[in-house]
Structure 1
């Protein structure tokens, strides 16, 4: 049966599902994957769970797979311009016609289940990866861990990236509560690799592993000598080491011998947009601008950004910042203000119903702060303050940037 005749129709149907509609539980995804025969797929599965660093760790691991000749399916969120960014083979998006064909197959089997937006995309990703014959799938959690839809399938390993405060309305108000939800993704005998965690999260992870019988590894391997991860910032060293730990496990399952030369090349060429992405050579209103783009949208990520800027010798003359209204701006405001001695411009984001009121955000930041009706005007104001501009905050703000400069969405890292 042809439920969708075009990619645009599929996208419209997904939009009506509600991007942020949640109905916690695994029953629907369990049934969907059972009907498709994909609960126990014929490829290896690595599950990425945590607050920050999931996308970067996924990117490093996908690059390690590619360099060693393994075909890796990559499932991430959110997207910047098109949902096709969420389901890829390596760095390559799949054709719109293939999306329609595979979505129709999923709908034929699961239409009565009422899958949410994220559940449908997760099931669709697994279906696409099975059809394209991947060797491994790297699946990034959408939110939390216990009820993440990826938990409905057999997983061969779990990576826990650094856990911090975010999405408190859903996951809990403390690190302990949030870590408890994320650690709920562990299963008996599952290899679990954890990045260094704050004490509260570490205690929860250790207890959960002991209770469920997971095999927890907290000593990450060192990076190969002379390696230099392509993603900027001290925190990316940790993400690269976590990916390397996952690769050591994944390579055994794929019967691939790790190669140090290939590992160095993989870590040195990985790319993901919006993570301390340095863009030079742009002109905004005839002003040459040196841009740094980063999706730091919670306190943990802003602390990492605070450490990364001096290490990169990037001292912003101005900042463009915006976030969603569920963020902890009482904590984040002073952090944003500490990143520059120059002006901070808060634009209105028209792409999202959860956008914070720029005036409210500006009051939390204080100092030389002003608002703008949109990103384009905010960038014009920032460019008048000097050559170095930092754009940071919500990934939806970054989405608006990439709509203005789509060529920056898929590019190689700049020196």
Structure 2
């Protein structure tokens, strides 16, 4: 809205999320909502699996982000840098049909990588990805991959596929916190 400047708080992370929320805020106002309603709405916004931060036992942190295409991988990279969320270990799985080379380029240098797969025939064999991720480890089971990632850093990022993020979330819901990585 011309000439107006507003600051809003949100639970979402990442510059790309801020841009999306700014557009939503202006759209809400132009559609007749008052700024107070827009502000309340933005405070309630959730975007599961998109830079979702979860506490982990021992003062560690888990970040979940689909980052399932090159643009998403670059947005995740930018957000990790922007919010000072590095160093972090990455747990990555990709669908077969994705641009693995471009995604590997976006994730390069962010931290140690553990390659895994999600439970679907669409999931790329993690061993086939090793040439794109020199020095990466392979752990077929996503929760075991997460355990290995936490051996490298106090922050782990699960990314590369919304299927992987969903699978990890479902598995974690079934485990009490003290048993999440035993």
TM-score, length of structure 1 as denominator length: 0.39
Aligned CA distance change for structure 1 residues 400 and 228 (closer, same or farther; 3 Å): same
Counterparts of 1:370 and 1:380, CA distance in 2: 12
Instruction: Report whether the alignment pairs 1:237 with 2:26.
Output: no
Does the 8 Å contact 2:88/2:110 carry over to 1? Answer: no
Residue 316 (structure 1) shift: 3.2
CA distance in 2, matches of 1:236, 1:272: 9
Distance 1:223 1:320, change over 3 A: farther
Q: Contact 2:52–2:63 at 8 Å: present in 1 too?
A: yes
Aligned length: 174
| C-alpha distance in 1 between matches for 2:50 and 2:155 | 17
Task: Determine helix, strand or coil for the equivalent of 2:67.
Answer: coil
**Do residues 247 (structure 1) and 22 (structure 2) align?**
no
Pairing 1:307–2:102 present: no
Are 1:390 and 2:171 matched, yes or no? no
- Return the offset for 1:334: 2.1
Contact 2:94 2:161 in 1 (8 A): yes
CA deviation after TM superposition for structure 1 residue 396, in Å: 0.5
The residue aligned with 2:115 is: 346
Structure 2 residue aligned with 1:89: none
For 1:327-342, list aligned pairs within 5 A. Answer: 327-340=98-111
- TM-superposed CA distance for 1:310, in Å, is 1.8
Structure 2 runs not aligned, ≥5 long: 175-182
Is the Cα contact below 8 Å between 1:334 and 1:365 reproduced in 2? Answer: no
Deviation at 1:399, TM superposition (A): 1.1
Structure number with larger C-alpha Rg: 1
Structure with bigger RCO (C-alpha 8 Å, 6+ apart): 2
SS at match of 1:376: helix
CA contact 2:90–2:157 (8 Å) conserved in 1: yes
- Provide, for residues 210-255 of structure 1, a one-character-per-residue CA deviation record: whole Å limited to 9, x for no partner: xxxxxxxxxx889962312321100012211232344345x3xxxx
Distance verdict in 2 for CA 1:307–1:222, change over 3 Å: farther
Q: Distance in 2 between matches of 1:258 and 1:221?
A: 16
Runs of 5+ in structure 1 lacking a partner?
A: 1-219, 252-256, 408-415
